[in-house]
Amino acid sequence: MSLKVLVGCKRVIDYAVKIRVRPDKLGVVTDGIKHSMNPFDEIAIEEAVRLKEKNIVKEVIAVSCGPTQAQETIRTALAMGADRGIHVEVPAKEMEKLEPLHVSKILAKLAEKEQAELVIVGKQAIDDDTNATAQMTAGILNWPQATFASKIEKKDDFLEVIREIDGGLETIKVKLPAVVSADLRLNEPRYATLPNIMKAKKKKIEKMKPADLGVDTTPHFEVIEVTDPPAREAGIKVEDVDTLLLKLKEVGRI
């Protein structure tokens, strides 16, 4: 098989870290905070690697857009089994303003350049939760898309994808080349162990800038304010059942 897969992996604040809003209210504190690969992208990488292990795919290329440290994210992807990496360097300052549309354009350009026939990304990143990159990449490339995949199977010249939709599952066929976005239940990603991370250091990471791909990263949005979610209000204790019913009626619960 000669299928090449491009997998997007974003470096985000680790899922276990408590997020703090910056004093200027235009973003969140990222300095000195633990980052790791977006969990949904881990699922995407795992799926690509599994397709490779089934000999359906020939090469898995991990792509990440971000500051220098995004290389660590690519290393993790390489340790999980990707063959090589592409680091599209975006300085930390500009990274805040990098939008899904820009990333989609970068991914689309890279897919054309590398002649990839399949692009797999996580359905959304756990930092901005935009859930748009896969869809827009498919749009730009004019390829079919299979979003929220919970099962992928290769049949002849198409993929059969089971999608997670509201209230159930949907099975669709997509012709290759295609864009797939991974949902939580697609697989259980393997852990990037220390020996594998060491071995991954031998794999190549190509470096480039968005401008090298002809992608303009001028922001279209301006962040006006970032705020914490409202704190949960304290509950109250009631004397007896009657007061309880009264209180519940007051707040319109019964």
State the nearest-atom distance from the C-beta of 37 to other proteins, in Å. 11
Stretch that binds other proteins, among 25-33, 108-116, 149-157, 164-172 (CB under 8 A): 164-172
The answer to whether 183 and 41 are in contact (CB under 8 A) is no
Q: Does 252 engage in binding with other proteins (CB under 8 A)?
A: no
Q: Does 244 engage in binding with other proteins (CB under 8 A)?
A: no
State the nearest-atom distance from the C-beta of 116 to other proteins, in Å. 26
Q: Does 184 engage in binding with other proteins (CB under 8 A)?
A: yes
Interface residue with other proteins among 17, 21, 28, 39 (CB under 8 A) is: 39
Q: Is the dihedral of CA 225, 226, 231, 232 positive or negative?
A: positive
Report which residue type is found at 182. A
Interface residue with other proteins among 23, 32, 168, 235 (CB under 8 A) is: 168
State the nearest-atom distance from the C-beta of 36 to other proteins, in Å. 9
Reference 8, options 53, 90, 74; nearest CA is: 74
State the nearest-atom distance from the C-beta of 159 to other proteins, in Å. 21
Give, rounded to a whole angstrom, the gap between the first and last alpha carbons of the chain: 62
Report which residue type is found at 163. R
The answer to whether 220 and 99 are in contact (CB under 8 A) is yes
Nearer to other proteins, 155 or 253 (CB): 253
Size of the site for other proteins (CB under 8 A): 22
State the nearest-atom distance from the C-beta of 174 to other proteins, in Å. 19
Footprint (CB under 8 A) of other proteins, residues 79-138: 124, 126, 129, 131
Roughly what angle, to the nearest 10 degrees, separates helices 39-53 and 70-80?
Answer: 30
Q: Does 189 engage in binding with other proteins (CB under 8 A)?
A: yes
Interface residue with other proteins among 136, 164, 181, 186 (CB under 8 A) is: 164
- The site for other proteins (CB under 8 A) is made up of 15-16, 39, 124, 126, 129, 131, 148, 164-168, 184, 188-191, 193-195, 229
